Chain A
Amino acid sequence: MHNKIIELKHLTKNFGEQQVLKGIDLNIYENEFLTLLGPSGCGKTTTLRIIAGFEEPSGGEVLFNGVDISKVPAYKREVNTVFQKYALFPFLNVYDNVAFGLKIKKKSKSFIDEKVKKTLKLVGLEGFDKRNVTLLSGGQQQRVAIARALVNEPKVLLLDEPLGALDAKLRKEMQSELKKIQKEVGITFIFVTHDQEEALSMSDTVVVMNEGIIQQIGSPVDIYNEPENRFVAGFIGESNIIPDAVMKRDLLVSFDGFDFDCVDKGFKENEEVEVVLRPEDIDIVDVENSKIKGKVKSIIFKGVHYEIVVETQYRDYLIHTTDYFETGLHVGLSFGPEDIHVMYKM
């Protein structure tokens, strides 16, 4: 792994009576695409603003290359931000917006010219130099905002829900574009979003937050397949959560009146746990061949797949499948040991 570039050590933040960060510990590495993911009010934007220097933490430390910077003002930090609503300077054209940071740092004219041209090319805005930023489309303004930050060659780029204002199609384009830019410039990106799909498709590391606490840190695959608790499982994609399962022993979990082989271990014997079953991991099979049996309650066409709800004795299961099943049909449910995700009870 690369070197740590930013370390958050037991970061807390109070706004009046309200504590929005309740002790955040996080290591961010060089060249990493890290996403802070969570519902609104979870503290992800506050964490970003503390790293940028717009907020002072109430407690804890922000280490940048090992040095505490929590008292360093924003304009002296080696990070740059792409703001939610871009915050471009409307009285400057595209070129002057991008050149702003370099002009403040009193770089030579030829240096500025070369850097601005290069950065505009990187974000796909070649030839837009003299354009009025207020007359650009949302996606183009977004690119100007990214260029304005990147031109300063920050060690870390902070992005505060930058794709929130774009329409669905443009958003998809910008996601892959951002990932491409990050690979090209080779710096750390810290990305804030409430969109789980965005987080999973772009990040090296996803940090799931809720109510000022980090719920889980891991790769997108880990977060999706091995959610640590019910919040993470529920927030990342749709899932069936079985709150009353019991871990009989290592590799054996019991729910809905049956024992199932699983791949999880390290729990206490007969510990109460929660189980997550992803809708796409459950197969609908003949009634005779399965432990869990039920009746098709509803079926909705979703384009790529059908969304089926099967009513069983204990609970309703949500299933994604490409096959069609008649409502009222008696069916069995089947899933393999690796599809069962056991989590600690919250």
Chain B
Amino acid sequence: MRKKHGHRKLGAGLYIALCFLFLYLPILVTMIFSFNSSKSLTKFEGFSLMWYERLFSDSEIMEAVYVSLSVALLATLISTILGTITAIGLSKSRKLLKEVIVNINNVPIMNPDIVTAIGLMILFSSMKIEKGYLTMLLAHIAFCTPYVITSVYPKVRSLDPSIANAAMDLGATPFQALTKVILPMIKEGIFAGVLLAFTMSFDDFVISYFVTGNGVKNISIIVYNMTKRTNPTINALSTIVIVVIMVTLVIVNVVPAINKKKNKKKMALELENMNHI
């Protein structure tokens, strides 16, 4: 019986290991070969940082990094503001309007990127807007905003309807009620929206590819262009992106856990004090 159980455990462990291997081996290979001293993508011929040197001296790539980051930051900022305001407004609207808007909001999320991309491309062309940085930014704001609405709206809906009135009753102007009461109560939803919007914007390829022009390229477009020939600079770039994402993930996950622990300790201390009284 025990033996059988042991086998099962071993099988489960092996299965998990294979899954992780399948997911992470390609990334690991990319990272290892970014330090390769030759151009080969199959044979590791010694450690070197030459691809990193090339990466940082390649002005086209650095330009793309700047475009990706600035578009992602601006699109996140603007879509978060737009989405949050929309979600708050929505919660105060009539029921029918509310349902219609929530469903319409889901369409761009479900829609294949290629359809959104072509749609936006045609829109910009028909309005005679010159394609480039601005069109890319506008497109990113357009496809990020629904994600923000989706993550903020449930939080807003769960608010006590009198909470804003309570703030104004105590002398807060409508704007103060928003910043001092409503926003702190929905900040988790906003934070989730920010993360989603930034990720969506940063790794978008299809839509960006269709709506850009005038030589404005983000990282995904550059990488796509580079894959046509062997170029380990991509590996170096990918490695940096992976490291940045990993560090961010660790911070996002570990910091709240530490805070929680601290709070728990504080609460326990307080409770003890209360008991003493």
B162 lies within 8 A of A85 (CB):
yes
**B residues within 8 A CB of A81?**
165-166, 169
Binds B, one of A86-94, A225-233, A282-290: A86-94
Residue of A nearest to B185 (CB): A91
Residue of A nearest to B184 (CB): A91
Q: How far is the CB of A105 from chain B (nearest CB, A)?
A: 6
Contact status of A83 and B162, CB under 8 A, knowing A73-B168, A90-B185, A91-B184: yes
Q: How far is the CB of A241 from chain B (nearest CB, A)?
A: 38
**A residues within 8 A CB of B170?**
75, 80, 100-101, 104, 148-149, 152
Q: How far is the CB of B52 from chain A (nearest CB, A)?
A: 45
B168 lies within 8 A of A87 (CB):
no
Q: Which residues of B contact A (CB under 8 A)?
A: 160, 162-163, 165-174, 176, 180-181, 184-185, 270, 277
- The 8 sampled A-B contact pairs (Cβ below 8 Å) are A81-B169, A83-B165, A83-B166, A87-B165, A91-B184, A100-B172, A104-B171, A104-B176
A75 to B170, alpha carbons, bound, how many Å? 6
* 11 extra A-B contacts, CB within 8 A, seeds A53-B168, A89-B184: A52-B165, A52-B169, A83-B166, A87-B165, A89-B163, A89-B167, A89-B185, A100-B180, A101-B171, A104-B176, A152-B170
A101 to B174, alpha carbons, bound, how many Å? 14
**B residues within 8 A CB of A130?**
270
A104 lies within 8 A of B166 (CB):
no
Residue of B nearest to A127 (CB): B277
Q: How far is the CB of B273 from chain A (nearest CB, A)?
A: 9
**B residues within 8 A CB of A127?**
277
Q: A105 touches which one: B163, B171, B184 (CB < 8 A)?
A: B171
Q: How far is the CB of A328 from chain B (nearest CB, A)?
A: 55
Q: How far is the CB of A89 from chain B (nearest CB, A)?
A: 6
**A residues within 8 A CB of B162?**
83-85, 87
A74 to B184, alpha carbons, bound, how many Å? 22
A74 to B165, alpha carbons, bound, how many Å? 8
**B residues within 8 A CB of A54?**
165, 169
Which of B170, B180, B185, B270 is the most central at the interface, judged by chain A CB atoms within 10 Å of its CB?
Answer: B170
A74 lies within 8 A of B169 (CB):
yes
A77 to B168, alpha carbons, bound, how many Å? 10
A314 to B162, alpha carbons, bound, how many Å? 51
A85 to B160, alpha carbons, bound, how many Å? 8
Which of B162, B166, B270 is the most central at the interface, judged by chain A CB atoms within 10 Å of its CB?
Answer: B166
Contact status of A104 and B169, CB under 8 A, knowing A89-B181, A91-B184: no
Q: How far is the CB of A64 from chain B (nearest CB, A)?
A: 15
Which of A75, A88, A127, A152 is the most central at the interface, judged by chain B CB atoms within 10 Å of its CB?
Answer: A75
Query: 8 closest pairs, A vs B, by CB?
Result: A101-B170, A87-B166, A87-B162, A74-B168, A75-B168, A104-B171, A81-B169, A83-B162
Q: How far is the CB of A50 from chain B (nearest CB, A)?
A: 13
Q: Which of A117-138 contact B (CB under 8 A)?
A: 127, 130
Residue of B nearest to A99 (CB): B170
**A residues within 8 A CB of B180?**
100, 104
Q: How far is the CB of B262 from chain A (nearest CB, A)?
A: 15
A87 to B173, alpha carbons, bound, how many Å? 17
Q: B169 touches which one: A80, A89, A91 (CB < 8 A)?
A: A80
B172 lies within 8 A of A104 (CB):
yes
Contact status of A152 and B171, CB under 8 A, knowing A91-B184, A104-B176: yes
Q: How far is the CB of A127 from chain B (nearest CB, A)?
A: 6
Residue of A nearest to B267 (CB): A132
Taken residue by residue from 52 to 67, chain A's Cβ proximity to chain B (1 for < 8 Å, 0 otherwise) reads as 1110000000000000
Q: Which of A208-229 contact B (CB under 8 A)?
A: none
**B residues within 8 A CB of A148?**
170
Residue of B nearest to A75 (CB): B168
Q: How far is the CB of A12 from chain B (nearest CB, A)?
A: 22
Q: How far is the CB of A173 from chain B (nearest CB, A)?
A: 22
A85 to B277, alpha carbons, bound, how many Å? 30
**A residues within 8 A CB of B168?**
53, 73-75
B163 lies within 8 A of A75 (CB):
no
B167 lies within 8 A of A100 (CB):
yes
**B residues within 8 A CB of A83?**
162, 165-166
**A residues within 8 A CB of B165?**
52, 54, 74, 81, 83, 87
A113 to B124, alpha carbons, bound, how many Å? 58
**B residues within 8 A CB of A89?**
163, 166-167, 181, 184-185
B171 lies within 8 A of A87 (CB):
no
**A residues within 8 A CB of B163?**
87, 89
**A residues within 8 A CB of B277?**
127
Residue of A nearest to B171 (CB): A104
B181 lies within 8 A of A75 (CB):
no
Q: How far is the CB of A54 from chain B (nearest CB, A)?
A: 5
Q: How far is the CB of B101 from chain A (nearest CB, A)?
A: 21
Residue of A nearest to B266 (CB): A130
Residue of A nearest to B163 (CB): A87
**A residues within 8 A CB of B169?**
52-54, 74-75, 79-81, 149
Q: How far is the CB of B167 from chain A (nearest CB, A)?
A: 7
Residue of B nearest to A128 (CB): B274
**A residues within 8 A CB of B270?**
130
**A residues within 8 A CB of B174?**
75
A85 to B166, alpha carbons, bound, how many Å? 11
Q: How far is the CB of A199 from chain B (nearest CB, A)?
A: 22
A74 to B160, alpha carbons, bound, how many Å? 18
A66 to B169, alpha carbons, bound, how many Å? 21
